[in-house]
Amino acid sequence: MNPPIVVLGMHRSGTTLVVRCLERLGVHMGWRQDENAESLLFLRLNEWLLLQAGGNWEHPGPVRELLAAPEVRELALQHVRDTLAGPRSLAHAGPRAFLAGERGFGRSGPWGFKDPRTLATLPLWLEVFPGARLLHVRRHGIDVARSLVTRHPHAVAAGQAAFARRRRRYAWLRPRWPLIESVRCRAFPEAFALWEEYCALAEQHLAGVGNPLVEIRFEDLAADPARVLGAVAAWAGLQPEAGALAAAAALVKPQRARAFASAADGAALERELGPRLARFGY
């Protein structure tokens, strides 16, 4: 089986950009993706795994209960394996590969997937794909938190629109959808605390892992995209077509790195949060 490249990182850390770059370099990252370049197949499975422990993307901590319960863990793994072996794998492989007998996780070429929730569920995925290559993306916590807060009104608007469409079904059937995808990250303090939680999960689940692992900073990628992407390509054993590396590097917008620094309160906020940022390398 050809092992996947699993892109890891906190929400709003630049993982979407990394996926788009990898696709330019010839990596299949999923036929059906959401607006954040997350493979819908793996996203839905991660959502389901978190739900089994009473968690979600804004509250990933409860997954530790699932990981610590052997009987539940084994059932969850069996469901994941069954799903990946079944027709739902079409969502990742795409029709042509699916009809050719490829399921997207045994492809002849390089492939992978991205979903920030994987930082919480990684031990399970490493049982499914023991040879996975792990690409971890880090970004400054203030930029991450501010991006989450900026995105929150869009989540509210989307939730309100969805509720309006589904209101009659809510009245007659047990609702299966969250009213709003983001509740916790409506204010900066909780959004920053969530960044800390995901950083702690990365420390916990990547410490001592035997898989091929590379970590990159969003700030380094923004400063020198050709160098960073070239190193990633070499690490992953990719052989991109001529011009592909330049095309990937052209996707990077340098001004997005340390964007908070241009705000009036940016420097003061960084000083205030200094010890908490330093805890995770910033």
H/E/C letters for each residue in the chain? CCCCEEEEECCCCCHHHHHHHHHHCCCECCCCECCCCCEHHHHHHHHHHHHHCCCECCECCCHHHHHHCHHHHHHHHHHHHHHHHCHHHHHHHCHHHHHCCCCCCCCCCCEEEECCCHHHHHHHHHHHCCCCEEEEEECCHHHHHHHHHHHHHHHHHHHHHHHHHHHHHHHHCCCCCCCCCCCHHHCHHHHHHHHHHHHHHHHHHHCCCCCCEEEEEHHHHHHCHHHHHHHHHHHHCCCCCCCHHHHHHCCCCHHHCCHHHHCCCHHHHHHHCHHHHHCCCC
Structure tokens at 81: 């394996």
- DSSP H or E stretch at residue 135: strand 133-138
Structure tokens at 136: 């971890």
pLDDT in tens, the chain (282 residues): 589 999 999 999 999 999 999 999 999 999 999 999 999 999 999 999 999 999 999 999 999 999 999 999 999 999 999 999 888 988 998 887 767 766 555 567 899 999 999 999 999 999 999 999 999 999 999 999 999 999 989 888 988 898 888 888 878 877 667 788 889 999 999 999 999 999 999 999 999 999 999 999 999 999 999 999 999 999 999 999 889 999 999 999 999 999 999 999 999 999 999 999 999 999
CATH classification at residue 71: 3.40.50
> Reading across the β-sheet that carries 213-217, which strands appear in turn?
112-114, 5-9, 133-138, 213-217
Q: Which residue has the tokens 């469901």?
A: 79
Q: Closest by alpha carbon to 217, among 270, 131, 277?
A: 277
219-276 pLDDT, tens digit per residue, is: 999 999 999 999 999 999 999 988 999 999 999 999 999 999 999 999 999 999 999 9
Give the chain's domain count. 1
Host domain of residue 176: 5-278
Structure tokens at 180: 């709003």
